[in-house]
Amino acid sequence: MTKDDQAQVQLSQGTISGVSREGYRRFCGIPYAEQPIGARRWCAPKAVPPGTDVVPAEKFGPIAPQALEPDQTGLEMSEACLNLNVWTPTTATSAPVMVWIHGGGFCQGSNRVRGSVFAQAGVVLVAPNYRLGVLGFASHPLIEDPGANFGLLDLLQALRWVQDNIQQFGGNPSNVTIFGVSAGGAAVNLLMTIPSADGLFHKAIAQSGYGTWPLLRAHPGKGDPLDILHRPSQSAEESTAAVFERSGLKEPDLSSLMNIAPETLVTGQRGFQLPIVDGYHVREEPGILFEQGLMLSIPYLTGANSFDGSVMPSYQLDPTVYASVLDDFSSQWRRLYGDDLEEDAMRGIQRVFGDERYLLSAALLANAVSNAGRDAFLYYLDVMPPGFPEKLGSPHGFDAFLMFESAVLHPGSAEARLGQHIRNAWISFAQSGYPSVVVEDEEDWRPLSAGGSWHRVGAASSLVQGEIDQRLDWIEQRYRARIVASTG
């Protein structure tokens, strides 16, 4: 690396030394909190102390301990994972700031994205890592901190770091937008319900983020909402103990909990990790709090993909059991999803799963924000990836690929153009609170309060809006029945 390639920013924690590229600067692996190692495992994060050293930020930092996919071998994992990346335009001064929260079911994923595509469009992009799985979400008698959602507390600390430092990178700390897909979108919804997050961000985008899906509950009680199979809510203590037992800790003591290797704990994870209603930071499911008006009053953009149900196998919900529970509630779903079921039974069940987990959340939370007097916008992505089976639509996470990867992996393609349009819309929202249209010749994108509805991008699944609305009406009935105990 030549001297001309270096980029340095002076912060209270030291001199951050990154790299310069054409049109942007990149700083990777910056510590934003004291690392949760040793005695700090399962503790709330603390700010990085002041320092005078040079902090190398040329390479990505370690990712949170997790089960890696076959193509991810060689990635450095460590509990010392509380680092973030910053991409900033070379000449940025008071630029909009967008904070990307990665997805992965709260048990996988990292902040390793192509943030340069946002920096080259004039935005300062920040991407933090946060604790995952049972290291990030745990409730157990031996864990002293009752906060339980340590991964969310990490994100709050990252946002405090942004407020304290992003101006030095050319960003405007008074114009911060958080956004994320899947678990990242769910984190957006959860952060909007945490009072201590007030002032840390000013707009929010939840992409296929679930807010109406049941969470784990610390010390569940009789009046709590039911789970997705309409059974008593899941105990966070039992879930945490089950992970420990599968990791070899059937009857742990404090010493064994604090000393077990993180790679071993990862082996006890099964399916996605759910956040925990802990009564401290996560007071209730976001959907319930939003409808009570107990969320941050900020502009909100949310939506889902037409085949978000593609992710269902990773959730480890038995499709036969799920279908049986749907039948027990009402067989109407078989008529509403008849075309999919006729094509393939599993395809129909997955479509219901995606709509129930993601689409319903977008509809209810956006309407709650609009009813509270703030601008809320809805989108529905229905564009087929190349080679995807006919009429399935957009699979879960396809929007993240379009935004971050398509321009580099498939330059000049239809996917790259669509990815650019989506980035432009999101950046417009970050700048002004109003998204631009996603593709040319579309109607203006209006907030719900001005008569706006689903801003539809594509029609690959051939579903018309009336069919989607009927499905959502039925799914909402199931949701109301599930939460009726807790809402009286």
| Rg, Å, the chain Cα set | 22
Output the CA torsion 123→13→130→285 (10° steps). Answer: -80
Contacts of 324 (CB under 8 A, 6+ apart): none
Number of H helices, E strands in the chain: 18, 14
Question: What does the alpha-carbon distance between residue 351 and residue 306 come to, in Å, rounded to a whole number?
Answer: 8
Q: Which domains, from first to last, does the chain contain?
A: 3-487 (3.40.50.1820)
Determine contact, residues 238/334, Cβ cutoff 8 Å: no
Strands 376-381 and 454-457: parallel
Closest C-alpha to 207, from 187, 190, 182 = 182
Question: What does the alpha-carbon distance between residue 467 and residue 451 come to, in Å, rounded to a whole number?
Answer: 19
Contacts of 50 (CB under 8 A, 6+ apart): 12, 13
Report DSSP letters for 379-427, one per residue: EEE--PPTTPPTT--PBTTHHHHHHHTHHHHSTTSHHHHHHHHHHHHHH
Tell me the torsion sign for CA atoms 410, 413, 414, 417: positive
Residue 221 three-state SS: coil
pLDDT < 50 stretches in the chain? 1-4
pLDDT at 488: 60
Question: What does the alpha-carbon distance between residue 117 and residue 123 come to, in Å, rounded to a whole number?
Answer: 9
Question: What does the alpha-carbon distance between residue 126 and residue 87 come to, in Å, rounded to a whole number?
Answer: 7
Determine contact, residues 202/221, Cβ cutoff 8 Å: no
Residue 111 three-state SS: coil
pLDDT at 146: 86
pLDDT at 128: 98
SS (H, E, C) 17-61: EEEEECCEEEEEEEECCCCCCHHHCCCCCCCCCCCCCEEECCCCC
Question: In terms of pTM, does the model score above 0.85?
Answer: yes
Start-end of H helices in 74-182: 116-119, 133-136, 150-165
Closest C-alpha to 378, from 388, 397, 364, 399 = 364
**What are the percentages of helix, strand and coil residues in the chain, rounded to 5?**
40, 20, 45
